[in-house]
C-alpha cells in the first residue's frame, strides 16, 4: 500500500493481512514489472563484480584468462550500457539494479 492510499483501503488491507491474506498495491506491482532487463553480458558482469571487489584490470585479466585490453573493453562497454560516469559508478548502478 502506498502512503497516499485512502484510509478505507488501508483498513481493508490491514484486515486482509491480519486474516492471512496478501495485499499488493497496483501501482507498486506495475512499477516492479517495469524494471529494465539486465543489459550486461555475463562476462561484463564478472568483470564489474571483480572491479567492485577492488581488483585492478590487470589482475582481473589474469584471473579470467583474458587480455588486459579485453578487460578494459568489457569495462568500457559496461560503463556505456549503464550510462555510468566511471567504472565504480557502473558497479554501483549494476549492484543497485540487482545485476551483480
pLDDT value at position 36?
77
Is residue 54 left, alpha or beta, with left meaning phi > 0 and alpha meaning psi from -120 to 50?
A: left
Which tens digits make up the pLDDT trace of 11-40? 888 899 999 999 887 777 777 777 678 999
pLDDT value at position 30?
74
**Nine-digit cell string for 21:** 491474506
Instruction: Say what angle helices 42-52 and 68-81 make with each other, to 10 degrees.
Output: 100
pLDDT value at position 74?
98
- How far is the C-alpha of 47 from the C-alpha of 9, rounded, in Å? 47
Domain with CATH 1.10.10.10 in the chain: 42-96
The answer to whether the CB of 88 falls within 8 A of the CB of 50 is no
pLDDT value at position 20?
94
pLDDT value at position 27?
78
In this prediction, the residues of the chain whose per-residue pLDDT falls under 50 are: none
pTM of the full predicted structure? 0.66
The architecture CATH gives domain 42-96: Orthogonal Bundle (1.10)
pLDDT value at position 15?
92
pLDDT value at position 63?
96
pLDDT value at position 6?
85
Amino acid at each position: 500500500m502506498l502512503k497516499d492510499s485512502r484510509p478505507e483501503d488501508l483498513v481493508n488491507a490491514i484486515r486482509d493481512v491480519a486474516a492471512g491474506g496478501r495485499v499488493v498495491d497496483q501501482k507498486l506491482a506495475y512499477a516492479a514489472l517495469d524494471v529494465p532487463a539486465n543489459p550486461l553480458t555475463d562476462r561484463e558482469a564478472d568483470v564489474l563484480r571483480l572491479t567492485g571487489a577492488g581488483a585492478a584490470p590487470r589482475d582481473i585479466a589474469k584471473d579470467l584468462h583474458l587480455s588486459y585490453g579485453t578487460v578494459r573493453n568489457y569495462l568500457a562497454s559496461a560503463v556505456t550500457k549503464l550510462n555510468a560516469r566511471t567504472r565504480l559508478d557502473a558497479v554501483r548502478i549494476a549492484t543497485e539494479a540487482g545485476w551483480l
